[in-house]
């Protein structure tokens, strides 16, 4: 036994993350897998393959790895591993490992539904109904696909009786993985039957189609996007766990309301005179209710009117007082147009009504310049950095 440590075997740093460990193992396992090398290199690569598999097994397990890091040894010695009686990492495990993030072979594929919903629907709660057509195990033949269980068969020549075929899949340049695909010739049974021996209902397919209505409930106050999983509602297949139907929803932007957590913000236009004298105004909430605001206060530009408890409903009701979000009306004060007054005297009257005290600053009379020709703009132009003056570089001269 050479004294290469486990990190060196996997060609990684001792600070490698579990993802890096997995990647390193995948790379090396592909390089050394006995099925992947020439006959004459098989023995050597088998040893290498067992080494990297052993290193991977220890380092991917947090407890084993920390033991190894601390004490420099492992629970299961190399010898035991090489003996092949324990921890044998067979070729099936190899293929299973390389299936990686894809679905396990013993489960049917998950089905995905993506929908958009409105903020109103999130406010009130929504039940999404969808028609689902899926395969269900044929009840007549209990999934065998046969008229009776005693009929004769012969081995399927396409999959060699295994019921599945292997398919090479490129996962990255120079990196391939192998997938198991159900054999379509024998419908995964590995056997071929005569047409007259097949189940009359499913025609030997082992499954029949079923259409039903599925309901996904999005409770009021739910997050703006989310996932609802209906377990076991995807296609059924004999001998397999049924996959799930997964609904992904996302809320569309609303034309007036903006959601921020459980709070809602909505634009609210009032006239200048309302801002000064008070007002009564009604807005429509997301559920169609009218919310009447009676103000006796002075409202200033940039103000929000906060209405407590009128935001989004809380999703999780608890035994203590249910707190909901708040509603914020973002005030936009509409000023009158130029020359709004009827008589010039009106300006004077208004001046006397609204208090305006200005602290006089002392400015030297002789320096005052008069400006009447100005324009009113809504924005200041984007910042443009003024050009830097050219730096005079002192000439380096060596004397």
In whole angstroms, give the CA distance from residue 371 to residue 377.
Answer: 16
Burial class (CB in 10 A: 0-12, 13-18, 19+), 259: buried
Least spacing, CB of residue 156 vs Zn ion, in Å:
3
Cα dihedral: 166, 167, 169, 175 (round 10): 50
Least spacing, CB of residue 44 vs Zn ion, in Å:
35
Judged by beta carbon, residue 132 or residue 185, the one nearer Zn ion is: 185
In whole angstroms, give the CA distance from residue 170 to residue 133.
Answer: 31
Q: Does 347 contact Zn ion by CB under 5 A?
A: no
Judged by beta carbon, residue 136 or residue 330, the one nearer Zn ion is: 136
Least spacing, CB of residue 183 vs Zn ion, in Å:
3
In whole angstroms, give the CA distance from residue 341 to residue 166.
Answer: 85
Sign of CA dihedral 220, 226, 230, 231: negative
In whole angstroms, give the CA distance from residue 47 to residue 55.
Answer: 12
Judged by beta carbon, residue 26 or residue 198, the one nearer Zn ion is: 198
Judged by beta carbon, residue 183 or residue 331, the one nearer Zn ion is: 183
Q: In 10 A of CB 22, how many CB atoms?
A: 17
Least spacing, CB of residue 196 vs Zn ion, in Å:
14
Judged by beta carbon, residue 158 or residue 176, the one nearer Zn ion is: 158
For Zn ion, which stretch binds (CB under 5 A), given 107-115, 178-186, 310-318, 338-346?
178-186
DSSP string, 18-44: HHHHHHHHHHHHHHH-GGGS-GGGHHH
Q: Which of residues 137-166 bind Zn ion (CB under 5 A)?
A: 138, 140-141, 156, 158-159
Least spacing, CB of residue 139 vs Zn ion, in Å:
8
Q: In the set 45, 76, 178, 185, which binds Zn ion (CB under 5 A)?
A: 185
Q: Which of residues 17-36 bind Zn ion (CB under 5 A)?
A: none
Number of H helices, E strands in the chain: 9, 15
Task: Assess contact for 359 and 343: CB atoms under 8 A.
Answer: no
Least spacing, CB of residue 262 vs Zn ion, in Å:
52
Burial class (CB in 10 A: 0-12, 13-18, 19+), 169: middle
Encoded one letter per residue, x for contact with Zn ion by CB under 5 A and - for no contact, window 193-222 reads ------x-xx--------------------
Judged by beta carbon, residue 176 or residue 201, the one nearer Zn ion is: 201
Least spacing, CB of residue 107 vs Zn ion, in Å:
20
In whole angstroms, give the CA distance from residue 14 to residue 198.
Answer: 59
DSSP string, 274-337: HHHH-EEEEEE-TTS-EEEEEE-SPP-TT-EEEETT-SSPPSS--SSPPP---EEEEEEEEPPP
Judged by beta carbon, residue 46 or residue 197, the one nearer Zn ion is: 197
For Zn ion, which stretch binds (CB under 5 A), given 78-86, 181-189, 292-300, 329-337?
181-189
Q: Which of residues 42-61 bind Zn ion (CB under 5 A)?
A: none
Judged by beta carbon, residue 118 or residue 185, the one nearer Zn ion is: 185
> Under rule CB under 5 A, how many of the chain's residues touch Zn ion?
12
Judged by beta carbon, residue 156 or residue 218, the one nearer Zn ion is: 156
Least spacing, CB of residue 236 vs Zn ion, in Å:
12
Residues found near Zn ion in the complex (CB under 5 A): 138, 140-141, 156, 158-159, 183, 185-186, 199, 201-202
């Amino acid at each position: 036994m050479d004294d290469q440590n486990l990190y060196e075997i996997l060609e990684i740093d001792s600070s490698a993350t579990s993802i890096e460990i997995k990647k390193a193992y995948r790379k090396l396992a592909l390089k050394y897998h006995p099925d992947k090398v020439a006959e004459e290199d098989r023995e050597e690569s088998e040893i290498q393959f067992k080494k990297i598999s052993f290193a991977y097994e220890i380092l991917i397990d947090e407890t084993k790895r920390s033991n190894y890091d601390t004490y420099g040894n492992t629970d299961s010695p190399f010898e035991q591993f090489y003996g092949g009686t324990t921890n044998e990492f067979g070729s099936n495990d190899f293929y299973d490992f390389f299936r990686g993030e894809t679905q396990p072979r013993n489960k049917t594929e998950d089905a995905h539904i993506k929908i958009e919903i409105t903020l109103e629907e999130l406010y009130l709660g929504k039940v999404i109904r969808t028609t689902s057509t899926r395969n269900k195990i044929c009840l007549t033949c209990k999934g065998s696909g046969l008229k009776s269980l005693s009929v004769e068969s012969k081995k399927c020549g396409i999959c060699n009786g295994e019921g599945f075929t292997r398919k090479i899949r490129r996962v990255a340049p120079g990196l391939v993985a192998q997938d198991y695909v159900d054999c379509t010739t024998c419908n995964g049974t590995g056997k071929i039957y005569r047409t007259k021996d097949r189940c009359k209902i499913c025609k030997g397919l082992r499954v029949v189609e079923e259409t039903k209505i599925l309901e996904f409930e999005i409770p009021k106050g739910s997050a703006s996007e989310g996932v609802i999983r209906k377990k076991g509602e995807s296609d059924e297949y004999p001998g397999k766990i049924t996959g799930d139907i997964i609904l992904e929803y996302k809320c569309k932007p609303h034309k007036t309301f903006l959601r921020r957590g459980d709070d809602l913000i909505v634009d609210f236009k009032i006239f200048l005179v309302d801002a000064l004298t008070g007002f009564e105004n009604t807005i429509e909430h997301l559920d169609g209710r009218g919310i009447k605001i009676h103000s006796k206060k002075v409202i200033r530009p940039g103000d929000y009117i906060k209405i407590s408890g009128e935001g989004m409903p809380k999703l999780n009701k608890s035994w203590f007082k249910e707190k909901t979000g708040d509603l914020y009306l973002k005030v936009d004060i509409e000023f009158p147009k130029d020359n709004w007054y009827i008589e010039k005297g009106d300006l004077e009257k208004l001046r006397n009504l609204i208090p305006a005290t200005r602290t006089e600053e002392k400015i030297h009379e002789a320096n005052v310049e008069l400006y009447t020709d100005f324009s009113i703009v809504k924005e200041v132009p984007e910042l443009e950095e003024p050009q830097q003056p050219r730096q005079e570089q002192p000439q380096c001269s060596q004397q």
